[in-house]
Each structure stands twice: as structure tokens, then as C-alpha cells.
């Protein structure tokens, strides 16, 4: 069932995010790989929250403009403070990641990224998500996803428990959440399958720690 976070969930998540430091490296890896293949002038961050991923791209590409996209007013207020230094380089778009085509986002973008948002989606929703994102990206543009995956019965519980030893900050709930999870996250294979359905087969996992992965995909 499509859903958005409540403002209470957004506020609670902001005060208890245990993974920001760990995710700085994969976010920089993503920007460095785009830089190595010619850079980016226009980027959008879907379900951007406080805008941390967007900030790394705006810093890596000083001439670029960015689009912050999210459904939460709490997140918008937080991101506008965190990203104040970028002024008019950022456009602010309120939208639903379950219906991206209705968000009014521009097409022809060099990069559309997202982080820690698609693990709520069913495989059908994931296919729709990538198909809609694909429409926003120019030919040869990038789709980048940093998210949590289900690792299968053999490893999933072990990796989630192990991560809590290294990132123990949360007082309750899943180490990466603070919000409800209605089903196991999609696997990395679910992501590559959904991208393939959108016609994108140039896909690489650039980083993984425990059950969190960075996927870079390039539109034909």
C-alpha cells in the first residue's frame, strides 16, 4: 500500500539516524564515479530528507543545480537550513515517490539519486519507481540508489545483528529505522530486475556494508 511518513516519524528519524557517518563514504563514491565519467550539471534527490546526498553532489560539482524532493514538511524545514548556503542552486519539490510523474520534476536530468527510501517498496512498486525515474534522466544519465537490502534467509538476521554492534546508537527498533517496515526490503537482485524492466542493464554495485548497498545505473 503506498504511504508517506508521518511528520512524527520524520522528526523521530532525524534525531536518531545512526548511519549518517557510515554513509558519507558511499555518497562520495557515487559522486566520484559520476565525476570520473564527465560530471553532472543537474541532479535530483528523491526522498531527500535532510538533503545529505544532494549536498555531496553540489559540493563535487560546483556549477551544478539540484532538486530536493520529499513528501515531508519537517524534512523540508531541516533541509532548507542544512542547504542554505546553496541558495538558488536548489529547487524544492514536494512530491510522492510512489507517483513521481505527478511531482512536476523536470526531465533531461544528469543524475537522479535516492537514499534509504526504496526499501519500503514492493517489487511492483520498485519497477514503477525505476521506470518513472528513468523518464527523468537524460540518455546516458545516472540513476543512483543507496539503500538497505534483504540479504536472504542465510545472512539477513546475522548482518542486521552485527551492524548493531558497530552502530549501536538507536535505543529501540531496527538499527536503520525509527519508522515502520511492513515487509522485508527488496534484495539487490530485485533492484537490478526492476532496472532491467525499465530498460537499464548497465548497473554496478559500487559499495556494500552489511545490508546497505550503493547501486549505480546508467541509462542507455
Ligand X SMILES: C[S@@+](CC[C@H](N)C(=O)[O-])C[C@H]1O[C@@H](n2cnc3c(N)ncnc32)[C@H](O)[C@@H]1O
Among 11, 22, 35, 71, binds ligand X (CB under 6 A): 71
**Is 5 a binder of ligand X (CB under 6 A)?**
yes
Bridge-based pairing of strands 212-218 and 65-70 is unpaired
Positions of E strands within the chain: 42-46, 65-70, 90-94, 109-115, 137-148, 202-209, 212-218
Exactly one of 55, 116, 148, 218 binds ligand X (CB under 6 A); which one? 116
Segment 139 to 198, residues that bind ligand X, using CB under 6 A: none
Stretch binding ligand X (CB under 6 A), from 33-41, 94-102, 132-140, 154-162: 94-102
- Cβ of residue 5: shortest distance to ligand X, in angstroms? 4
132 interacts with ligand X by CB under 6 A? no
Q: What is the dihedral of CA 124, 129, 134, 137, to 10 degrees?
A: -170
Q: Pick one of 83, 97, 126, 215: the residue that binds ligand X (CB under 6 A).
A: 97
128 binds ligand X (CB under 6 A): no
Neighbours of 22 (CB within 10 A): 14
Tell me how far apart the alpha carbons of residues 62 and 132 are, in angstroms, rounded to a whole number. Answer: 27
Q: Which residues pair with 215 in a beta bridge?
A: 145, 205
CB 176 within 8 A of CB 149: no
Q: Which of 22, 96, 125, 174 binds ligand X (CB under 6 A)?
A: 96
- The correct pick among 42, 70, 90, 105 for binding ligand X (CB under 6 A) is 70
Q: Footprint of ligand X on this chain (CB under 6 A)?
A: 4-5, 10, 13, 47-50, 52-53, 70-72, 75, 96-98, 115-117
Amino acid at each position: 500500500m503506498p504511504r508517506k511518513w508521518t511528520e512524527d516519524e520524520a522528526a523521530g528519524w532525524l534525531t536518531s539516524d545512526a548511519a549518517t557517518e557510515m554513509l558519507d563514504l558511499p555518497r562520495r563514491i557515487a559522486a566520484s564515479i559520476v565525476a570520473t565519467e564527465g560530471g553532472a550539471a543537474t541532479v535530483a534527490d528523491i526522498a531527500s530528507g535532510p538533503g545529505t546526498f544532494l549536498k555531496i553532489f553540489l559540493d563535487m560539482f560546483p556549477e551544478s543545480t539540484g532538486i530536493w524532493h520529499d513528501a515531508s514538511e519537517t524534512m523540508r524545514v531541516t533541509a532548507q537550513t542544512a542547504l542554505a548556503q546553496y541558495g538558488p542552486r536548489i529547487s524544492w519539490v514536494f512530491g510522492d515517490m510512489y507517483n513521481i510523474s505527478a511531482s512536476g520534476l523536470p526531465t533531461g536530468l544528469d543524475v537522479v539519486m535516492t537514499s534509504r527510501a526504496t526499501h519500503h517498496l514492493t517489487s511492483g512498486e520498485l519497477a514503477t519507481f525505476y521506470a518513472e525515474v528513468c523518464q527523468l534522466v537524460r540518455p546516458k544519465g545516472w540513476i543512483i540508489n543507496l539503500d538497505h537490502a534483504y540479504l536472504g534467509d542465510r545472512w539477513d538476521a546475522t548482518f542486521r545483528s552485527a551492524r548493531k554492534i558497530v552502530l549501536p546508537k538507536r535505543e529501540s527498533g531496527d538499527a536503520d529505522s525509527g519508522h515502520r517496515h511492513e515487509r522485508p526490503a527488496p534484495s539487490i537482485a530485485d533492484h537490478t530486475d526492476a532496472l532491467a524492466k525499465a530498460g537499464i542493464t548497465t548497473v554496478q554495485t559500487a559499495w556494500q556494508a552489511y545490508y546497505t548497498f550503493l547501486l549505480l545505473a546508467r541509462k542507455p
